[in-house]
Amino acid sequence: MAKQTQQTVALPEIIDLDAIDGIRDQLIDALEDGPVTVQAGAVERVSTNALLLLISAAETARRHHFDFAIEAPSAAMTAAIERLGLDAQFSGMMKQ
């Protein structure tokens, strides 16, 4: 984990159980290199499990002293976060 290279992970339009394994693998690879920015503008539908995955990835980044940000979250993603009461967990990582 010495590289400290900024990595970007772009989320797909639909993040459901079929997509979550691929996203998890991308996040794991990105977090091995350093800070991560997640591009979330294209998200139209997101599962609860995917949101929990992002919270977990942010915690992993924090433990390794890496920045973790979700850039330009879509209205659908923001609504899902609010509907599930996860505002506090996402507040520090959301970047407009």
Partnered with residue 70 across adjacent β-strands are: 38, 94
* 3, pLDDT greater than 60: no
Domains of the chain, residue spans: 7-95
Using CA atoms, how far apart are residues 24 and 27, in angstroms rounded to an integer? 5
List CB contacts of 24: < 8 A, sequence separation 6 or more. Answer: 53
Could you read off the pLDDT of 44-88 as tens digits, one per residue?
A: 999 999 999 999 999 999 999 999 999 999 999 999 999 999 999
Using CA atoms, how far apart are residues 70 and 39, in angstroms rounded to an integer? 6
* 1, pLDDT greater than 90: no
Could you read off the pLDDT of 5-56 as tens digits, one per residue?
A: 889 999 999 999 999 999 999 999 999 989 999 999 999 999 999 999 999 9
Element of type H or E holding 19:
helix 17-33
What six digits make up the tokens of 36?
């991560």
CATH number of 7-95: 3.30.750.24
Q: Does the predicted model carry a pTM greater than 0.85?
A: yes
List CB contacts of 3: < 8 A, sequence separation 6 or more. Answer: 32, 33, 34
List CB contacts of 92: < 8 A, sequence separation 6 or more. Answer: none
